[in-house]
Amino acid sequence: MITVATWNVLHRVHADNWDSSFAGRWPEDKVRIEGVTSVVAGRSEQVIALQEVSGDQLASLREALPGREFHVLRYPRVPRPRRVASMLQDRTEHLVLIVAGAGRNFAAGAFASDPGKGYLAVLVDGVLIVATHVTGDDRRGGQFARLAELTAGGPVVLLGDFNAPAAEVVAALGTHYTVAELPVDAIATRPRGSDAEKSQFIDHVVTRGITARDTAVEDVAGVSDHNLVRATIG
């Protein structure tokens, strides 16, 4: 049995580039970074997958979790501020797997079609755990194909922000994959407010050759624009 969680923690540059109201809610990103770290440090899952981790956020997490094993992919693209100057000391962006115990690096890379999205795969207790962040446009077809190629065996768990609802994820990966069902009363993994046309459930736990249960969405009290998804595997 492995307990897992996945969470897009929101890189500050992306937030400022896409949401003009974000600075008003979080005028100091150091405070928000501390909030994200507090949420992660309070989790009990054996494996936690994080997307959009800035260099500042990664440093905060490492300091708060010295007993955890960190597996990190640094993207070749560094987010560039377009609206306001960045308050981050380290604007680099990372995909992260935090493991309580031991994990063995298996594969990692940015997608060829997007240097700011990718995958990070680690073997934990005989299960291949893959953290991923998939692009939200027509480039994702090739990205899903790469994920399917990487995880053709089993057992496999994919954790991440897929920028697509469950049905589209299964259609893209294939029928051997299962997206863990959320409770009917689950809160949105990516709340949209008035933007009702886009799916509000785009963060998933996906399995192949193994079962997920006890899946739930946890409210993160606004420190990110995504909520955290957790599950038990096996």
On the question of a cis peptide bond just before residue 155, with omega within 30 degrees of 0, the verdict is yes
CATH architecture of 2-233: 4-Layer Sandwich (3.60)
Q: Which residues pair with 205 in a beta bridge?
A: 159
209 CB-near residues (< 8 Å, 6+ apart): 153, 154, 155, 156, 176
Instruction: Tell me the two tokens of residue 218.
Output: 């946890």
Q: Average of pLDDT values for 127-156? A: 96
pLDDT bracket for residue 130 (50, 70, 90) = very high
Q: Residue 214: pLDDT band by 50, 70, 90 thresholds?
A: very high
Percent of the chain with pLDDT over 90: 91
Tens of pLDDT, residues 46-80: 999 999 999 999 999 999 999 999 999 999 999 99
**Can you tell me the distance from the alpha carbon of 226 to that of 222, in angstroms, rounded to the nearest whole number?**
8
Rounded to whole angstroms, the maximal C-alpha distance in the chain is 47
Are β-strands 156-161 and 127-133 bridged in parallel, bridged antiparallel, or unpaired? parallel
**Every domain of the chain and the residues it spans:** 2-233
Q: Encoding tokens for residue 219?
A: 């409210």
pLDDT band at 196 (very low <50, low <70, confident <90, very high): low
Global pTM reads 0.97
**CB 102 within 8 Å of CB 123:** no
Burial (CB count within 10 angstroms: exposed 0-12, middle 13-18, buried 19+), residue 91: middle
Mean pLDDT over 11-15 rounds to: 95
Q: What pLDDT, on the 0 to 100 scale, is given for residue 20? A: 78
pLDDT level of residue 34 (50, 70, 90 thresholds): very high
Average pLDDT on 190-205 reads: 84
Question: 152 — phi, psi (to 5°)?
Answer: -65, -25
Given a cut of 90, whether residue 198 has pLDDT beyond it is no
Q: Mean pLDDT of all residues in the chain?
A: 95
Q: What is the pLDDT of residues 162-172, one digit of tens each?
A: 999 999 999 99
Residue 180, Cβ neighbours under 10 Å: how many? 22
Q: Binning pLDDT at 50, 70 and 90, where does residue 10 land?
A: very high
**Band of residue 194 on the pLDDT scale cut at 50, 70, 90:** low
Q: Residue 147 corresponds to which tokens in the numbers above?
A: 């994920």
The angle formed by the CA atoms of residues 90, 63 and 6, to the nearest 5 degrees, is: 80
